[in-house]
Amino acid sequence: MKAPLDFYFDFSSPYGYLAAEKIGPLAARHGRTVTWRPMLLGVAFKATGGAPLPTIPLKGDYSKRDFLRSARFHGVAFRLPDPFPVSTVAACRAFYGSPEERRVPLAKALYRAYFADNVNIAEADNVLRIAASVGCKPDLNKQAVKDKTRAEVDSAQPFWGIDRFDQLERWLREPF
Amino acid sequence: MKAPLDFYFDFSSPYGYLAAEKIGPLAARHGRTVTWRPMLLGVAFKATGGAPLPTIPLKGDYSKRDFLRSARFHGVAFRLPDPFPVSTVAACRAFYGSPEERRVPLAKALYRAYFADNVNIAEADNVLRIAASVGCKPDLNKQAVKDKTRAEVDSAQPFWGIDRFDQLERWLREPF
């Protein structure tokens, strides 16, 4: 039995969204399953001194072009949402507050709502409506859900980003 | 006649080095030539508020792993030089102070000296020795060479990085 792939992502990341649409089939091609692990990029930024791409001079404008072109390259429906980026605490808690077998459909629904349909997933009402559409009714204020969300944020990932999927695919075939 | 590809890079960038080994064949597959344009990433960092990857918490350690794995993925000889990163003003000036027809061999020689053979290309003596090995004798202190180097730094590039070469290749076949 091969180990599952750990997939860390933030619900406000365009690259995370593209990866979310691609990682399942990639893993399946190599007989792997995926453990989905949404986290909060803002907390990671505090550790790295980073900031959301759109706020960075030059890189901000470039990143918007790269989001759109990368989405076309991967054949994924995408529009840059407004507002962008947003807090994803509510989305993250909804994920960890839902039954395990419903989490992946929920994650995909949240991502598509935000990046294809321009629904603001920073708003708890929107998150709960999307959750209901895939049969989930999470309690976003439950302490255990808050704690689980916080605990996931500190983890690390050995392959960063959709732009390493070619390396990941070869690695799964044969580590190099 | 198709337009040449503009290839912007810093001599201290591992990803630039990998790209330098790959961009010629990629362009040739699509009937293009490449205009090599070394620049100084440190100056770009001043505009974007960026910093060299190895200095950034978490990302620094991760980037070293990514450099090595990406080099193996692309089949390019690589060792992380010490010191790293270094100033590439001397290397950049040597490039612009050499005859056009010798610049690409010089750029490849500088990159390989630094990233395969651990020669410190921040030192003018080393740069001049490498230049001599490919038939160049640039004057690193000539004002026209300094001015040309400075002028190249402000340019922009529409495809950032070796990790967009798959997109670049498809774009050259047919823009999407």
DSSP B32-43: --EEEEE--HHH
What is the pTM (predicted TM-score) of this model?
0.89
Average pLDDT for residues B140-162, to the nearest whole number? 82
Tell me what pLDDT residue A113 has.
Answer: 98
Residues in B 104-163 with any Cβ partner in A closer than 8 A: 156, 158, 160-161, 163
Torsion of CA B146, B149, B155, B157, to 10 degrees: -170
Q: How many Cβ atoms from other residues are within 10 Å of residue A15's Cβ?
A: 19
Complex prediction ipTM:
0.85
Contacts of B45 in chain A (CB under 8 A): none
The number of C-alpha atoms within 13 Å of B33 and in the hemisphere containing its C-beta is 7
Contacts of A49 in chain B (CB under 8 A): 56-57
Contacts of B69 in chain A (CB under 8 A): 167, 176
| A69 → chain B, closest CA residue | B176
pLDDT per position in chain A (176 positions), as tens? Answer: 789 999 999 999 999 999 999 999 999 999 999 999 999 888 778 777 788 888 888 788 889 999 999 999 999 999 999 999 999 999 999 999 999 999 999 999 999 999 999 999 999 999 999 999 999 999 999 999 999 988 887 665 667 788 888 888 888 888 88
The string of pLDDT tens digits covering residues B20-52 is: 999 999 999 999 999 999 998 887 787 777 888
| A56 → chain B, closest CA residue | B48
Give the distance from CA A78 to its chain's centroid: 14
Partner residue facing B160 (CB), from A50, A62, A160: A62
> Cβ of B49 under 8 Å from any chain A Cβ?
yes
Contacts of B59 in chain A (CB under 8 A): 48, 50
Got the DSSP string for B79-118?
---SS-S---HHHHHHHHTS-HHHHHHHHHHHHHHHHTT-
